[in-house]
Every structure is written in C-alpha cells, then in structure tokens.
Amino acid sequence: MIDQSLSALSEALAAGTLSSVDATKACLERVRATDARVGAFLRIDEAGALAAARASDARKHKLSPLDGVPVALKDMILTAGVETTAGSKMLAGFIPPHDATVTARLKAAGAVILGKTNLDEFAMGSSTESSAFQKTHNPYALERTPGGSSGGSAAAVAARQCFGTLGTDTGGSIRQPAALCNVVGLKPTWGRVSRSGVVAFASSLDQVGPFGRTVRDAAMLLQAISGRDPHDATSADLAVPDFTAALERGVKGLKVGLPREYFVEGMDPEIAAAIREAAKTLEAAGAQVKELSLPHTKHALAVYYVIAPAEASSNLARYDGVRFGHRTKDAKQLIELYERSREEGFGPEVKRRIMLGTFALSAGYHDAYYVKAQRVRTLIRRDFDEAFASVDVILSATSPTCAWPLGEKIDDPLAMYLMDVLTLPCSLAGLPGLSVPAAKSSKGLPIGAQLIGRPFDEATILRAARALERERDLVSWIPTP
C-alpha cells in the first residue's frame, strides 16, 4: 500500500477498495520502522490522524480527491493544538491556537495530517542540519543530506512514510530537497498560495508548496491549497485552474529555453549531461528547445543574501522573550532579557542571517546594500520577462551537485549558500518553479531537473514535468532506508 502514489491511493479510497484507516496505519507503521534512521518527523499526531481517517471512512461522499489521504506538514505551518517550532528552540512548546490557511484547506479537503516534518531552523539552510532538534538523512543514502530547508518533508515522501507533504520555499527550499530525494517538489508563484499561519522568514519570497511522488500528486495537493485568502493580503485574487487537466497533453509545440548561465562553474558534469539529455527528451516529444541568456543570473546569490536576511531580521525581531518565543530565566533588566532570550533561543545560522540583515538595513548601508539589491532584483525579473516572450518554459538543473555527505558543508556557510545558486533567481522573480526526477548518478544518487514558468502558469510546468516523468520512470526507484 505505501508504495502507491497519492493519486492511486485516492482512486482506491474513492472506489472503496482501501480504507483511510488502513492507509494511515500503514504510514504510521512505516514511520515507526524507518524514522529512527531517516529523521523526517519532529512529531506524529497519531490520535488526530486516526480520528481523521475514521471520519473519512464514515463519509458516504468524498469531500475531495484528497479525502482520507495521509499527508504531513513542514513544521513552519501552524496546526491547531499540535506543537509548531519552526525547528527552533525559540518556539519549543508553542501550541498554535488556530490552523494555517493551508492546514485548514487540507482538513476541509478531508486529508489526514500525520504530523510535522523536520527543517532547517526557521527555514534557514540547505541541508536540514541546522534544526535545533535533529538531523534528517536522505533515504537514498543515509549518510547524505536530504537537502533543505524542507528536507524532512522531502525525505518523508521519498521514504514512503506518507503520500504527500507541504513545505515552504524561500530560495529553493522545496525544489532543492525534491531533487536530492527523487521526488517532485513545486514552488508556486508568489501569491498563488496563502501564507497566513506560516512562520515568516522572508515575506517577499516565502511560498508554501507541495511534495509528491509523482507530478499528478503534486498537482492534486496544489489544487487543494491554492486560491485567494482574505487573511493574506498578498494572496492573488485569481481563479484556480484545474492543475491536472492538461497533464497528459504532452509538449508538442511547447517552446523550452535552456539558459546558458545555469550551467555554472563547479557543476557536477553528470548533472549537466542529465539536463541536456532531458532537453533532448522534450525535443523528441515535440517541444522546441533553444538556448537563451539570463544575464543577471550571476548576481542572484548576492542579491538574495541581502534581501532575505534583511527581511528575516525584521520578521524575527518579534522573538524577544516578551511577546513571542523562548524567555530566559532570572534576567534582571529588560535589555538582559532580550539579549539572553535571543542568544539561547536562536541557533548559529539564524543569528548569522539576523546580523547580515540588520547590517544591510542599518543607517549608512541601507542604500548601498538593500536598495541596490532590490534594483538588481528588478533586472533579474526583467531577464525572465524577456525570456518568456520567446519560450513557454525554462529548463535547468535544480542543484549543481547531488546530495553531499552530512557535515561536509555545515561549517562553511558560503559553500552551503552556493547549493541554492540555481533556484534563487526564480524565487527573486516570484515565478513558479518545479523539480522533477531526471536521472540517477553513477553513485546511485538522484538528479532533479528544474522547470520555471510564467507567473501563475503552474499548469504548463506541470505538463512539461509530466512529459519528462513519462520517459524517465524514476517513480519506481524506491529507497530502502
């Protein structure tokens, strides 16, 4: 049962050939059997999950295709009555009084929420090693990283612990772990999905999105969580299309761009070869492939690491030991309370980014760093606008390397930041991006292909991803953690 895709389970539940309780118990048993080695979950809500499963089985009419399907949520997403920590000691013990909008929408669709998955602290990281509570391991190679920051969500799907998950993507935190764990991960257009009830990192970049074993699985999850939310003024007031309707249309006539700048120095040659092979696959299926240039790509890393830390510095100022978060004991003065609470509550990477962001926003440096970074961000967006005047989809690698050994980069922040070099431009431009399994390396490690689309055109990148998925058949490659 656990090797089925979300969409296959959905059909079986609708037909009555499987029960949600049996599917949920199978997932819980799989977690018990594997998570000591994988470390994907921070907490399991077994009682809540089984109650939701029983309620699903008792319904005469399914609420949606997700009714009765066991899923999990990144621990940045609020869940009423279930601890939400953002992977940080700062929020340890925090029990939200309400659900995030995406949580509420999954529950309204009848989905069974198993629990909360591990992440880099406050989603700041690329390896899920900066979590305050545990490391997550890649199910395909347990001594290696699953990627980050949504590494727990990607690993849970890859390890067959649940049928789908939600993560958040600020600079690549869905797409990069999806590539490293051989699953599909989709970052929607900024504004497609509500951020209400999601712990904030960088508000102009954060976006919630799905992980699935297949492209159809990701499309089904995206369908459930998309749409305007009155609780989030930045959510787009646009109709939500049927994301599964065009999946099987193929790519005949589709124009695919291959950006020269995305074949970066230091990229694993096997990954570069896999992406060129993916381009040939799309071409053989009827797409037109052309090389193009996105000239400001080289500035994306620097721009991101000014803007994102600046927004993090502002967002995380609320965790002061008075209004929100961990509170130190026995502080004698208010300034001591602030300093000790933040010192004890935040980990090294979060402190590093708060300091970077505070510096970039400080008097005398604001114009030189933050304002200039925003101007270059506009140039990056214009590069994409010009490219999409002649192509429908942009194809690249998702990550410049395959999964690396745990511990290899944790003490080298720059080396870690470089792992997001191919996903950052899409985030800065607010565009939809998707990672789909593309190949297997000579070391037996997953390689992902990234597809980037026009604003609010998730349907086209899903369609192109499905065309690659059909030819690659990497869905049947199942790890044994």
Question: How far apart (Å, rounded) are the C-alpha atoms in residues 404 and 159?
Answer: 18
Q: Is 304 helix (H, G, I), strand (E, B) or coil?
A: helix
Instruction: Give long-range contacts, CB 8 A cutoff, 24+ apart: 343-348.
Output: 344/89, 345/88, 345/89, 345/90, 345/319, 345/321, 346/88, 346/89, 346/90, 346/121, 346/316, 346/319, 347/88, 347/89, 347/121, 347/130, 347/132, 348/130
Structure tokens at 110: 């009848």
Strand blocks (E) in 177-261: 184-187, 207-212, 255-259
Is 203 part of the annotated catalytic residue set? Answer: no
Is 173 part of the annotated catalytic residue set? Answer: yes
Contacts of 371 (CB under 8 A, 6+ apart): none
Nearest to 453 by CA among 265, 301, 241: 241
Q: Is 308 helix (H, G, I), strand (E, B) or coil?
A: helix
Q: What are phi and psi of 255, to 5 degrees?
A: -100, 120
Question: How far apart (Å, rounded) are the C-alpha atoms in residues 13 and 126?
Answer: 36
Strand blocks (E) in 383-445: 393-397, 433-440
Catalytic choice (173, 235, 313, 396): 173
Catalytic choice (74, 116, 187, 409): 74
Tally of CB atoms within 10 A around 353: 26
Q: What are phi and psi of 26, to 5 degrees?
A: -65, -40
Is 149 part of the annotated catalytic residue set? Answer: yes
Catalytic choice (149, 194, 226, 235): 149
Q: What are phi and psi of 409, to 5 degrees?
A: -115, 0
Half-sphere exposure in the Cβ direction for 414 (13 Å, CA): 1
Nearest to 170 by CA among 471, 465, 430: 430
Residue 152 in contact with residue 117, Cβ under 8 Å? yes
What amino acid positions are annotated as catalytic residues? 74, 149, 173
